[in-house]
Amino acid sequence: MKKVVSITSVFAIALTLFASSFGQAQSFTVASNTATEQGDVNGYIEVKIMVTNVTGNPLNLRVEVTDKSGLPADWMTQICFFQNCYPPSTDKVDGILGASEHEELDVAFITGAEPASGCVEVTLTNLDNANESAVMTFCASTLTSIEYRAPAVRSMSLSQNYPNPFSASKNSASTIAFYMPTPGNVSLKVYNLLGKEVRTLLDEARAAGKSSVAWDGRDNGGQKLPAGVYIYKLSAGKQTISKRMMFTR
């Protein structure tokens, strides 16, 4: 009999997010992280799940979006796992999780122009033992309830870049949006995975509210950077937020 772990948890910020809360298979565990992105129409809502290999051997894992019947017609999903973000058309990803290692699985909703809500089912399977799997239901909503229309306090936030991944040959740039609750000096910088700063996108005073900047995949000297995963970091005062993005040539 196939062993299936089903888990669901609810997050409510300025939107409603549902993600798997806790689940366990024999060789790996999955647990939800706190969602930090606010949902919006024509937006990018990201839900993060930590996957841990609890064995002393590498695991061959498959992540698959197994049911999209609850997704609005103009929405898409994107998988980020194994240090890569895959095109929205990719619903199945295979990779290796090293012995005793853990990695973040991101499932993002690319939302449509009209307020709506939707769900997808995502299955994580051990390819070396198909009886070990975790079934998760991810839901997101851009419907705004009255109690969230005018929050008394809103903290600094950083959105996922879009498109992600992005290619210098196909996209002129990728846009990074952020929100500042108060005016002040703000910096937005891009780093490689070694922690070296490669591009300063912003370092100036900004008014309170939403802002956005674009990155074209070039360094501070105007040279094209190698394809790969990069970190972008927003800093203001004592607050810092960082996210990953995928750049392809």
What is the pTM assigned to this prediction?
0.50
CA distances to 42, 126, 135, 212, 217 from 58, in Å: 38, 11, 21, 40, 33
Percent of the chain with pLDDT over 90: 20
- Is the pLDDT confidence value at 205 over 60? yes
What is the three-class DSSP state of 148? helix
Distance CA 80, CA 46 (A): 10
Exposed (0-12), middle (13-18) or buried (19+): which is 58, by Cβ within 10 Å? middle
Count the neighbouring beta carbons within 10 Å of the beta carbon of residue 130: 11
Structure tokens at 193: 């995975």
Structure tokens at 206: 């900004």
pLDDT digits (tens, 9 = 90+) for 155-199: 788 888 888 888 877 767 888 888 887 888 999 999 998 889 999
Distance CA 46, CA 36 (A): 8
79 within 8 A of 86, measured Cβ to Cβ: yes
**Max avg pLDDT among 28-42, 130-144, 186-200:** 186-200
110 within 8 A of 161, measured Cβ to Cβ: no
Distance CA 245, CA 171 (A): 14
Count the neighbouring beta carbons within 10 Å of the beta carbon of residue 33: 14
Distance CA 163, CA 176 (A): 9
Percent of the chain with pLDDT over 70: 81
pLDDT digits (tens, 9 = 90+) for 51-90: 888 998 999 999 999 888 888 999 988 888 877 778 887 8
At 166, the amino acid letter reads: F
Where do the domains of the chain lie, and which CATH numbers do they carry? 3-146 (2.60.40.10), 157-248 (2.60.40.1930)
CA Rg value for the chain = 19
Q: How confident is the model at residue 123 (pLDDT cuts 50, 70, 90)?
A: confident
Count the neighbouring beta carbons within 10 Å of the beta carbon of residue 137: 17
- Is the pLDDT confidence value at 139 over 50? yes
